[in-house]
Chains A and B, each alone.
Chain A
Amino acid sequence: MQISSLSQSTAMKNSIANIQSQLADLQRQLTTGHKADTYAKLGSATSLVLSLNNQVTQSNSYIDTINTVQLRIQTSADALTSINSMASSIKTGSLTSSFNLSAGTGTQTSFQTTAGAYLDQMVSLLNQSVADRYLFGGKDTQTTPVVSTDLMLNGDTTHAGLKTVIDERAKADLGANGMGRLSTSSPTADSVSLTEDTGVFGFKLSSVSSNLSGATVTGPTGSPASLNVQFGSTLPTEGQSISVDMKLPDGTTTTVKLTATTNSPAGAGRFTIGADATTTAANFQSALTTSIKTEAASTLKAASAVQAGNDFFGNPPQRVSGSDPYTATSLQNGTAADTVFWYQGDTSGTAGDNFVATVGDGQQIAYGARADQSAIVTALKAAAVISVAQYSATDTNAAASYSALTQRTATALNYKGTQSIEGIVTKLGLQSSNLDSTKTSLQTQISTSQSLLGDNLNANDYEVSTKLTTLMTQLQASYQITSSLSKLSLVSYM
């Protein structure tokens, strides 16, 4: 069979062109480092490459999220750890501090001054922000969550601060006569009645126990409750006593105990047994009045301050209703117009866990801490109430009142049966370590994906060079043959 000259040269041209285009592609692979410059050239690996790319992008974005969230969690946890240690110091201080008014203030102990400084620090920690984002305001990240200590405690011309709320509550609880909204009376000459005032303030009679001979004790009954002590012909004897248990505004109780004595004057907590029922009753009434006033000025005052703290730190804050606190009978909601709202952040939903972050495919965590979480509020409240209480050196009940206040603070900061700040910190820490492990597994995933991507996308330099060499040899041979063939023509030999 003959081979036409044209087909010979065409075939040669075609194969050389083919080798040259292969060379160009290999050269591209060598310079760019990538096997393919289009998805089509990837062939069946396209889907894999696309989904790996997506996975890497996605995982990187999860890691970004984790880093951001971890920073927030870590900063929150650090702030809360500091707040917790201050709360512990306040608790220890409450248990150990003695009532010595410091020379500087004259109205407060040095522990109270320290508590005030702690309050400042706590507020500033709660107002901490990360990247222009307040951490403890819930979803409202742009408003300073907690008002300044000054505003919180002192209020301003139109808004009542904690001090005002405590004052008002103290007046309401103690009453104008300092009897804790109780009154004594003698319905008959030989009997004494103790009666509560209407409303929520002051002492509330809960029970009474007595071993006074000849005395008939009834109540407390009725509403408002009242109790009655009817002395009889048989008179109490020395050492016999009667105890009245009363509920205090903050839910604690106290007891006023009066012991019968033959001494006259009887002394604190005692009443003189008179000659008959009538004088005994009169003595009893006056001793009861004195004891209740003392109890009111000490324990009730402390309990009232604690409850005022609860009122102020509630949402909405509770205020004594009416224009005259002494005669007030109920509380009302404070409004933004008349009372300082200490917490300015978001109040929707349950405090804490207000943010949701997606940290993996279908994997979400809820995180966050809010200044109005009860554990945090307890610490703030304790520091605030202690720091605003003022005492007078001349007040004989001051020491007892101080002690009643510090005891209550210490009890609240035990966090018995409620979530503590430590609990919140621990939870944040666990979340952070979970995020760490999620991050690690994401990083592993990314590196696996990337190595797979590399296998599919990257040109193997060795392979490419080998192919290049082979092709170059082939091309050289082709050129040589072309040149030899061109000489191989009958024309040359004629």
Chain B
Amino acid sequence: MSLSSAISTALSGLNASQAGLDLVSRNIANANTAGYTRKVQQTTTQMAGSQGIGVSQLADTRLVNRHLLQQMRTESASTSFLSVYNNFLSQIDSSFGTPDSDSSISGAVSTFATKMQAVATTPDDDAARQALINSASTLASKLNSASTQVQNLRKQAEQSIADGVTQANSLMQSIAKLNTQIAQTKASGQSTGDLEDQRDAAINSLSNLMGVKTVERDDGTVAVFTTGGQLLVDNAAAQLSFDQHANLDAGSAYSTDPTKRSVGTITLSQGTTSVDLIASGAIQSGSIAAYIKLRDTDLPQAQNQLDELASQLALSLSSDTVSGTAVSSGGGAGFELDLSAFVSGNTTGATGTQVNFSYTDGTGTHNVSVVPVSDPSLLPLPNSATTNANDTVVGVYIDPNASASAQMASIVSALQAVLPPSLVVSNPSGNVLSIVDDGTSSATVNSASTNVVENADTLKDGLGSGLSLFVDGNGQKTYTGALGTPSQITGFAGRIQVNAAIANDTTSLVLYQTGADIGDDTRPNELLGRLTDTSRVYSSSTGIGSAATPYSGSIDAFARRVVSYQSSQATSANTDYTAQKATSDTLQSKFDSETGVSVDQEMSNLIVLQNAYAANARVISTIQELFQTLLSIGR
């Protein structure tokens, strides 16, 4: 024990106070820096043997609740997800216009129906017919622009995924670099607080992009994984890549099969291995997950709804059911159908889309729908190929280059193959298909009919009373909803147009047959009924209705359903987002409160440090006095 050792002890106190003041100044300076955590000075008694010889400073530490931090990240990633999701869905919702203006697609369908009604009342009024064509064009262009918007949003999502991946890569690089620095700094016993703050900020940003989990290592580094468990960063960062597709349309879709995929996917490469992160479902949260879900699920569903609406709208006006003729041959009875509209050399002015019949045998009543396809790879067709939930669908490949008789033969054999032998399918003459029972068993054919679509250029004297008011694309193609790769319905909402031949000569809205008068309300009344009264069945691929009980209703009812479906999606996305944001805000605020800088506290620390400094200085000055006293003894 000596005065000199007291001086050095007091000096170490002065140093500690100075370091403390330095820390306070740094804390105060960063009081408003987001992500800065309060650093706390760590001191311990400096020992010399068993003797304390002053105060020793340790590296500053930060007080972070690891559990709270992970929870905050998880919630914050969900918030980013919902924020993006809400943003996109609200854009679709906004495209319907304000509720009071009734300018949505559903409003356009209503208007179209009222104009049709006006023509039915006054078919000879040129202005009324023109107004009908205008409202049909408005409806078509509303469907076009809604479809374009959906596809633009998908492109935007694709672009955002690309941006997100770029950001994620640079964040992962930063994290890896910081990991190295922290390990080195920690090994040298220095404070790693600020580096950790930076690393946390980078991990938070990464988590907002794609939702990550972290595992801390003893050397101070952190390993980052996707929620699905793929390692993103350890000592080195993995590489994410995204093969962005510039042109997305309604036909572009994600597939785990790279040859069928027509949108981009995120690939994680580490060393020689690479993983498709979308296929493995690794990205469940964060904004990238939201963009993927929008691009691959929600927006395609919205497109499906628009396509279904456009398809049903066109078909409601253009398709006709032609009933078969009852025949009896031998002991059997059944029906004959003229399939001229289905085979080569078709001059009926219509295109056959389905042959439907129903028969009863010992096992009950069966409905069979025969659907012709021009691409054999589509076979066999699933029962969902038609919207009817209670039918057995028989796909028949009709070789477009074959002769009518060969085509008839393939229909006969395909049909006979799925029917009980007690029903006889044949092609007695020409393009006639005959389905009769054998007269001895209990099987009977109940009904038979064909479904045809009047061709775009059949404006009068058609097979039925339909009219192709809406056509497919600039080529004015007849819309039949033909199956294929892609099927005609895919993206039809973006292509639907008013038949130019009718727009140019509006009298075809009325003159349904040669010799009909322009004052004849038969056709407009028929079309009006098809539009507003006839109940149609809608595909469950739209998310409206289920496969077992598909949604059925008039066209205008379905249009309303589409609008309310999309707006309710937006409503719930908004509700979810608001609730989620409140949760993550609360956590963030709790975290910030716990780890952030309180200026008041720092100020009170300042006073304490000031006092400590003064006290240590006082000790030194006292020791100096003592030394002087001691020295003066010798004088």
Tell me the nearest residue of chain A to B563, going by C-beta: A50
Q: Which residues of A contact B560 (CB under 8 A)?
A: 47, 50-51, 54
Residues 9 to 43 of chain A near chain B (Cβ within 8 Å): 9-11, 14, 32, 34, 36-43
The chain B residue sitting closest to A55, CB to CB, is: B110
Q: Let me know if A5 is at the binding interface, CB within 8 A.
A: yes
Q: Is the CB of B104 within 8 A of A38?
A: no
Inter-subunit contact A57/B111 (CB<8 Å): yes
- Let me know if A2 and B603 touch, CB within 8 A: no
Query: Please, how many angstroms separate the alpha-carbon atoms of A140 and B516 in the complex?
Result: 8
CB distance from A314 to the nearest CB of B (A): 21
Which residue of B99, B564, B571 contacts A457 across the interface (Cβ within 8 Å)?
B99
| A490 lies within 8 A of B600 (CB) | yes
B520 lies within 8 A of chain A by Cβ = yes
In whole angstroms, how far apart are the Cα atoms of A4 and B589 in the complex?
A: 9
The segment out of B112-120, B316-324, B355-363 that lies at the interface is B112-120
Q: A49: which B residues are within 8 A, CB to CB?
A: 99
Produce 1/0 per residue, A353-389, CB < 8 A to B: 0011110011010000000000000000000000000
Q: Which residue in B120, B556, B564 is a CB contact (below 8 Å) of A46?
A: B564
Describe B's contact surface by its main secondary structure.
helix
Asked if A39 and B93 make an inter-chain contact with CB atoms under 8 angstroms apart, the answer reads yes
A142 on the interface (CB 8 Å rule)? Answer: yes
Count of residues in B whose CB is under 8 Å from the partner chain: 67
Instruction: Produce 1/0 per residue, B586-609, CB < 8 A to A.
Output: 000100111111111101100100
- Whether the Cβ atoms of B121 and A69 lie closer than 8 Å is yes
Picked from A1, A42, A139, the residue with its CB within 8 Å of the CB of B519 is A139
Report whether B564 and A2 are in contact in the complex, using a CB–CB cutoff of 8 Å.
no
Q: How far is the CA of A6 from the CA of B99 in the complex (A)?
A: 41
Give CA–CA (A491, B606) in the complex, Å. 11
Beta-carbon nearest neighbor of A11 in chain B:
B589
Distance, CA A345 to CA B570, complexed state (A): 57
Q: Which residues 576-635 of B sit at the A interface, judged by CB distance below 8 A?
A: 585, 589, 592-601, 603-604, 607
What residues of A have a CB within 8 angstroms of the CB of B595 in the complex? 4
B34 within 8 A of A: yes
- B525 touches which of A61, A141, A356, A490 (Cβ 8 Å): A356
- Collect the chain A residues with CB atoms within 8 Å of residue B567's CB: 38-40, 42, 46
- C-alpha gap A64/B131 in the complex (Å): 15
A257 within 8 A of B: no
How far is the CB of B328 from the nearest CB of chain A, in Å? 34
Within 8 A of B (CB), among A214-245: none
- B218 at the A/B interface (Cβ < 8 Å)? no
Give min CB distance, A70 to chain B, whole Å.
Answer: 11
List residues of chain A with CB within 8 A of the CB of B570: 38-40
Contact of B90 among A3, A38, A65, A68 (CB under 8 A): A38
Residue of A nearest to B93 (CB): A40
Cα A217 to Cα B603 with chains together (Å)? 150
Residues of B within 8 A of A14 (CB): 585
A34→B99 contact, CB < 8 A: yes
For B597, the chain A residues whose CB sits under 8 A away are: 4-6
B533 CB-CB contact with A under 8 Å: yes
- In the complex, the answer to whether A64 meets B90 with C-beta atoms within 8 Å is no
A131 within 8 A of B: yes
A362 touches B114 (CB 8 A): no
Per the bound structure, the CA–CA distance linking A42 and B98 in Å amounts to 10
Known contacts A2-B598, A3-B593, A139-B520; A494 and B603 CB within 8 A of each other? yes
CB distance from A371 to the nearest CB of B (A): 14
Mask of B96-138 contacts with A, CB within 8 angstroms, 1/0: 1011101010110011011001101110110000000000000
- Chain A contacts of B104 at CB under 8 A? 39, 50
Is A158's CB within 8 Å of the partner chain B?
no
- Given the complex of chains A and B, what is the CA–CA distance between A111 and B386 in angstroms? 74
A-B interface pairs (CB < 8 A), number = 193
Q: Is the CB of A38 within 8 A of B98?
A: yes
A137 within 8 A of B: yes
Q: Which residues of B contact A164 (CB under 8 A)?
A: none
Q: Which residues of the partner chain B approach A139 to less than 8 Å between Cβ atoms?
A: 516-517, 519-521
* Residues in B neighbouring A356, C-beta threshold 8 A: 120, 521, 525
| Residues of chain B contacted by A457 (CB below 8 angstroms) | 99-100
What is the 8 Å Cβ interface bit string for chain A, positions 124-144, against chain B (1 contact, 0 not)? 000000011100011111100
* Beta-carbon contact of B34 and A132 below 8 Å: no
| Chain A residue, CB-CB nearest to B520 | A139
Q: Digit string of B548-569 for contact with A (CB within 8 Å is 1, else 0)?
A: 0000000011001101101110
How distant is the Cα of A60 from the Cα of B31 in the complex, in angstroms? 65
Whether B124 contacts A133 by the Cβ 8 Å rule is yes
Contact B107 A53 (CB under 8 A): yes
With both chains docked as a complex, state the minimum distance between the C-beta of A65 and any C-beta of chain B, in angstroms: 5
Contact B117 A358 (CB under 8 A): yes
CB of A418 closer than 8 Å to a CB of B:
no
In the bound complex, do residue B518 and residue A362 qualify as a contact, i.e. CB atoms below 8 Å apart? no
Contact: A53 with B571, CB < 8 Å? no
The yes or no answer to B142 lying at the interface (CB within 8 A) is no
- Bound CA span A485–B125, Å: 74
| A7 on interface, CB distance cutoff 8 Å | yes
B32 A6 Cβ-Cβ under 8 A:
yes
Q: In the complex, are the beta carbons of A4 and B598 less than 8 A apart?
A: yes
Closest to A14 in B: B585
B185 sits at the interface (CB 8 A): no
A489 beta carbon closer than 8 Å to chain B: yes
CB distance from B341 to the nearest CB of A (A): 28
Q: Is A58 an interface residue (CB 8 A)?
A: yes
Please give, as numbers and ranges, the residues of chain A lying within 8 Å of B598 by CB-CB distance: 2-5
Q: Is A250 an interface residue (CB 8 A)?
A: no
A-chain residues with CB within 8 Å of residue B117 when the two chains form the complex: 61-62, 64-65, 358
Give the complex CA separation of A95 and B532 in angstroms. Answer: 56
Q: Is A190 an interface residue (CB 8 A)?
A: no
Among A54, A61, A132, find the residue whose CB has the most chain B CB atoms closer than 10 A. Answer: A54
* CA of A415 to CA of B237, assembled, Å: 103
Residue in chain A with minimal CB distance to B30? A6
Within 8 A of A (CB), among B25-53: 31-34, 36, 38
Q: Does B156 contact A (CB under 8 A)?
A: no
Contact A346–B519 (Cβ < 8 Å): yes
Bound form: Cα–Cα A454–B285 in Å: 41
Q: Closest A residue to B598 by CB, please name it.
A: A2
Query: Which residues does chain A contribute within 8 Å of B518, judged by CB atoms?
Result: 140-142
Q: Which chain B positions have C-beta within 8 A of A132? A: 124-125
Residues of the B chain whose Cβ atoms lie less than 8 Å from the Cβ of A133: 122, 124-125, 519
- Of the candidates B110, B118, B599, the one whose C-beta lies within 8 Å of that of A53 is B110
Q: Are A42 and B99 in contact (CB under 8 A)?
A: yes
The verdict on A140 contacting B519 (CB below 8 Å), with A38-B570, A489-B599 known, is yes
Q: How far is the CB of B117 from chain A (nearest CB, A)?
A: 5
Whether B122 pairs with A54 at a CB distance below 8 angstroms is no
CB neighbours (8 Å) of B520 from chain A are 139, 346
- With A34-B98, A34-B99 known as contacts, the answer to whether A489 contacts B517 (CB < 8 A) is no
Shortest distance between the CB of B82 and any CB in chain A (Å)? 14
Name the CB-closest residue of B to A61: B114
Compute how far the CA of A427 lies from the CA of B228 in the bound complex, rounded to whole angstroms: 78
- Find out whether the CB atom of B32 lies under 8 angstroms from the CB atom of A46: no
Nearest residue in A to B610 (C-beta to C-beta)?
Answer: A494
Interface contact B102-A53, CB-CB below 8 Å: yes
Q: How far is the CA of A137 from the CA of B99 in the complex (A)?
A: 45
Give the chain A neighbours of B98 by CB distance below 8 A. Answer: 34, 36-38
Contacts from B to A (Cβ < 8 Å): 31-34, 36, 38, 89-90, 93-94, 96, 98-100, 102, 104, 106-107, 110-111, 113-114, 117-118, 120-122, 124-125, 516-521, 525, 528-529, 532-533, 556-557, 560-561, 563-564, 566-568, 570-571, 574, 585, 589, 592-601, 603-604, 607
| 14 A-B residue pairs with CB within 8 Å | A4-B596, A5-B31, A5-B598, A6-B34, A34-B99, A42-B99, A64-B121, A65-B121, A133-B122, A142-B517, A346-B517, A356-B521, A358-B529, A491-B603
**New A-B pairs, 8, CB < 8 Å, besides A358-B117, A489-B603:** A3-B593, A4-B594, A6-B597, A46-B571, A53-B106, A133-B125, A142-B519, A364-B525
- The list of the 7 closest CB pairs from A to B, nearest first, reads A4-B596, A141-B519, A39-B567, A61-B114, A7-B592, A40-B570, A490-B603
